[in-house]
Amino acid sequence: MIGRLLSERYKILKYLGGGMSSVYLAEDIILDRNVVVKMIKVDAHDEEKSRLRFQREVQSTIQLSHPNIVNVLDVDETEEYQLLVTEVVDGPTLKQYIKENHPISIEESVNLAVQILDGIEHAHTRGIIHRDIKPQNILLDGENRVRITDFGIAKALSETRMTETNQVMGSVQYISPEQAKGQNTDERTDIYSFGIVLFELLTGEVPFSGETPVSVALKQISEKLPEIDDYRKIPQGLKNIILKCTEKNPADRYRHVDMILEDLRKYDTIDTPYMHSDAEDGSTIQTGKINPVPKVPGPSEDPAAGPPEKKKSRWLWLIPLLFMLAAAGLGAYMMFTQEDEVTALIMPDFQGISLEAAEAGLAEHQLEMGEVIEEYNDTFEAGEVVETRPRSGVTVEFGTAVDFIVSAGEEPFVMLDFTGENFSDIQEQLNEINFNRIDLTEAYSDSEPGTVLSQSIGPGEEIRPDEHNLQLEVSRGVEPVEIVNYAGEPYETARDELEQNGFNVTVSQELYSEDVEQGAVISQDPSYGSFLPGSTINLVVSIGPEPPQNMLYSTTVNIPYGEEEDADEDDEENPPKTVNIHVEDANNPDIDEVFETFEITEDTTHTVRLEIEPGETGAFMVEVDGEEVIDEEIPYEE
What is the distance between the alpha carbons of residues 170 and 19, in angstroms, rounded to a whole number? Answer: 9
Report the SS3 class of residue 63.
Answer: helix
Rounded distance between C-alpha atoms, residue 61 and residue 85, angstroms: 11
Per the omega criterion (within 30 degrees of 0), is the bond before 103 cis? yes
Long-range contacts at 154-159 (CB < 8 A, ≥ 24 apart): 154/20, 154/130, 155/57, 155/129, 155/131, 156/40, 156/53, 156/54, 156/57, 156/58, 156/82, 157/20, 157/40, 157/54, 158/131, 159/50, 159/53, 159/54, 159/57
Bridge partner list, 405: 373, 387
Q: What DSSP designation does 626 have?
A: T
Query: What is the side-by-side order of every strand in the sheet holding 617-624?
Result: 594-600, 577-584, 617-624, 627-635
Dihedral Cα 507, 512, 514, 518, nearest 10 deg: 50
The sheet carrying 385-389 orders its strands as 368-375, 401-407, 385-389
Catalytically active residues are 132
Instruction: Please give the Cα distance from 478 to 437 (Å, whole number).
Output: 28
Residue 414: which residues within 8 A CB-CB, separation 6 or more?
460, 461, 462
How far apart CA 322 and CA 342 sit, in angstroms, is: 15
- My answer on whether omega of the bond before 299 falls inside 30° of 0, hence cis, is no
